[in-house]
Amino acid sequence: MMQYQNIWKKSLLTTQNRFFSNSVSRLGTNGKRKATGVVFMNMGGPATLHEVHDFLYQLFADYDLIPISKKYQPTIAKYIAKFRTPKIVKQYSEIGGGSPIRKYTEYQAKEVCKILDKTNPETAPHKPYVAFRYAKPLTDETYQKMLKDGITKAVAFTQYPQFSYSTTGSSLNELWRQIKKFDPERKISWSTIDRWPTNEHLVNAFAENIKRKLEEFPEDIRSEVILLFSAHSLPMDVVNTGDAYPAEVASTVYNVMEKLKFSNPYRLTWQSQVGPKPWLGAQTLAISNFLSPQSKGLLFIPIAFTSDHIETLHEVDLGIIGESEHRAKLKRCDSLNDSPTFIKAAADVVSDHLKSNQLYSKQLPLDFTLGKSNDPIVDLSEVFGDHSKN
């Protein structure tokens, strides 16, 4: 018995020493604990109509997202943005004058950090940040704020639960560019959560919203309503590189249906194609038009978005549903937005990541081997981990 007591005491002492060492290393010059930055990374959207043109330019200038021309993409993007701005301004004006994605993302990040302060005291306090790829706050703005705040450890947390090189990969490439520009001395040590398509709480959040919306259909036809999971499509140029996105979106869908015990017929479809090049299908609009006349009901589920934005509020609500002759049979499932279950999912993912000390997933090196970019990360080890030059 005495032997086991000694072993227990030694183990406890080792744990206490390790905690004390980590706590000391995370103390700032003022004696306060240094915060851990939790950066919610996403595409973003223009919060006002005045921001639409710049948003469109940033989007179409991104070769990672829409590969047009490595040499002339910025020039082409100027013309596309100028041409499309009036149409897109009209669309944003029809959904209230701007995208709500910043409002929801800032709320989600703030609430996640509140949870992390309780579940992960060893890395507390946790400070929320938002870094958008194409809208304010852009990555460079957020990075400079983090440096000003004295952040020395940060997690780049993708809000695309399913990885694509054109989305998460693009955001990480942009992060690397800002590191080289603003932080050559590497004051901030980075890790990343680059995917989380089958997280249990994420699946539960989707399933809860679907069940709630199905209650709005008459009980006698409820189990026959077709569930159309809709995700943002990708150019086939990107898909054919071996991009992980189609498989990871499908994995989310399957896990959600498994949670629902396959209560309804379902399909995965794709939306938001732009331009004449081939995109991943089948298209949500085409499938809706085909099924609407013969089905008893359709429920659209945004499965790759963590909050409402123009693709849900305008493209689905006002376009696919609003312009359908069968709109009475069509509904859209609520987006995750401020769902407590979703916020628990996000906090759960970050908590596990922080405790694991993992810098990135085992899949990420292959993603960057297959992905194509104008200005990519060449070596992930240069980006993530402690590279301080103190």
Residues with a catalytic annotation lie at 348
Helix (H, G, I), strand (E, B) or coil at 228: strand
Q: Which two tokens stand for residue 209?
A: 């919203």
Name the strand (E) or helix (H) holding 77.
helix 73-94
Rounded CA gap, 122 and 27, in Å? Answer: 12
Rounded CA gap, 195 and 247, in Å? Answer: 12
Q: Which two tokens stand for residue 53?
A: 């043109």
Contact between 101 and 44 (Cβ < 8 Å)? yes
DSSP 8-class letter at 385: B
**Tally of residues, the chain:** 390
DSSP-assigned letters across all residues of 138-178: BHHHHHHHHHHHT--EEEEEES-SS--IIIIIHHHHHHHHH
Rounded to 5°, the CA angle 225-228-230 comes to 160
